[in-house]
């Protein structure tokens, strides 16, 4: 099923398919939107693709199921606490 929505005339409009942008849309829904909205969608897709490439390149796969301290384990070191600094100075 195709549905078309039109906005005010005179403004340059582009047609987008909402099914491409929203996973809960199960059918094609075409909407005419302004150039600014199309540009915002395009920039968001590009940023998401860049994040995906960066995660793949640096093998940075994160899980929300891990305990605290995942950042320290991932980089291989932990920043010393103020107490550790005092112990080092005393030695």
Per residue in 26-44, pLDDT (tens digit) is 999 999 999 999 999 999 9
Return mean pLDDT, the chain.
78
Between 46 and 89, residue with greater pLDDT: 46
Per residue in 50-84, pLDDT (tens digit) is 988 988 888 776 665 566 666 556 665 667 778 88
Give pLDDT, residue 55.
83
Radius of gyration of the chain (CA): 24
Residues 70, 75, 46: CA angle, nearest 5 degrees: 85
Give pLDDT, residue 46.
94
Report the distance separating Cα 5 and Cα 31, nearest Å.
5
Q: Domain map of the chain by residue range?
A: 4-90
């Amino acid at each position: 099923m195709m549905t078309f929505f039109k906005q005010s005339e005179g403004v340059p409009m582009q047609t987008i398919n909402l099914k491409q942008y929203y996973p809960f849309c199960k059918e094609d829904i075409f909407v005419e939107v302004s150039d600014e909205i199309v540009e915002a969608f395009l920039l968001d897709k590009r940023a998401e693709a860049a994040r995906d490439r960066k995660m793949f390149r640096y093998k940075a796969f994160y899980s929300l199921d891990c305990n605290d301290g995942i950042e320290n384990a991932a980089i291989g070191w932990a920043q010393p606490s103020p107490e550790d600094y005092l112990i080092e100075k005393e030695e």
